[in-house]
């Protein structure tokens, strides 16, 4: 009888999570995340990565990448792994619980509908995005029916949103993935 769910991390991601890293600048945090996304593609993953940092100090809490195909779990998006690993690190489901320092999620792309919800419930106080949702859809992924005013919905709940950080680099990564003919899964729109 199985009594647990498991998700194995690829080596590069386990190593990233073991790092003692402090990145005070938003661009450096995003550069780190985009490099993880490239490593993830090389490790049979999707072109998405994300990481949770302490917002003010820039200390890395946890990093994730899209492992849907490799894990066999459709919820294994980058943001879900990063948030869950950060919560394991923090020892609590609420990353915003005092006295824990305020955290932010840095994602290589705007979250899909599922991950948007996950951001809401995670306790992070900020969301930093590279590529826009339209960039993600342009290569064939479905973002789901997100409300047009989703940044306002996050702000109403005390979560700041910073779009377009290194957007060009983030978009280039998606285009490279598409150009390589790699799998765009679960694009069921109209199917």
Catalytic positions are 79
96 or 163: CB nearest its own copies: 96
Of the candidates 7, 10, 3, 56, the one whose C-alpha atom is nearest the C-alpha of residue 29 is 56
Sign of the CA dihedral with 151 first, then 155, 157, and 160 last: positive
| CB 179, min distance to its own copies, A | 24
Q: Could you tell me the smallest distance in angstroms from the CB atom of residue 188 to its own copies?
A: 5
- Of 94 and 164, which CB lies nearer to its own copies in the complex structure? 94
Q: Residues of 110-142 as b/e, b for ≥16 C-beta within 10 angstroms?
A: bbbeebbebbbebbbbbbbbbbbbebbeebebb
Residue 51, strand partner residues? 63, 106
Q: Select 71 or 178, whichever has its Cβ closest to its own copies.
A: 71
Between residues 16 and 166, which has the closer beta carbon with respect to its own copies? 16
Shortest CB 185 distance to its own copies, Å: 7
71 burial class (0-12, 13-18, 19+ CB within 10 angstroms)? middle
Are 114 and 77 in contact, with CB atoms under 8 Å apart? yes
Q: Which residue ranges make up the site for its own copies (CB under 8 A)? A: 1-9, 11, 14-15, 17-18, 68-69, 71-76, 80-81, 83-85, 87-88, 91-94, 96, 112-118, 120-123, 142, 144-145, 147, 149-150, 153, 156-158, 185-186, 188-191
For the chain, the distance separating the N- and C-terminal CA atoms, rounded to the nearest angstrom, is 36
């Amino acid at each position: 009888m199985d009594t647990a769910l498991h998700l194995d991390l690829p080596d590069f991601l386990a190593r990233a999570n073991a790092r003692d890293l402090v990145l005070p600048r938003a661009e450096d945090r995003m550069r780190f995340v985009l490099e993880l996304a490239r490593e993830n593609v090389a490790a049979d993953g999707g072109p998405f990565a994300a990481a949770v940092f302490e917002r003010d100090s820039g200390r890395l809490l946890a990093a994730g990448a899209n492992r849907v195909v490799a894990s066999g779990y459709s919820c294994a998006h980058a943001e879900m792994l990063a948030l869950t690993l950060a919560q394991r690190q923090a020892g609590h489901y609420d990353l915003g619980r005092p006295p824990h320092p305020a955290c932010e999620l840095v994602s290589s792309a705007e979250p899909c509908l599922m991950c948007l919800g996950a951001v809401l419930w995670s306790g992070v106080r900020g969301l930093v995005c590279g590529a826009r949702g339209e960039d993600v859809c342009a290569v064939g992924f479905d973002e789901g029916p997100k409300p047009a005013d989703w940044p306002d919905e996050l702000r109403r709940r005390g979560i700041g949103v910073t779009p377009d950080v290194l957007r060009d680099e983030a978009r280039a990564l998606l285009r490279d993935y598409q150009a390589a003919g790699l799998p765009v899964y679960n694009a069921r729109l109209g199917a």
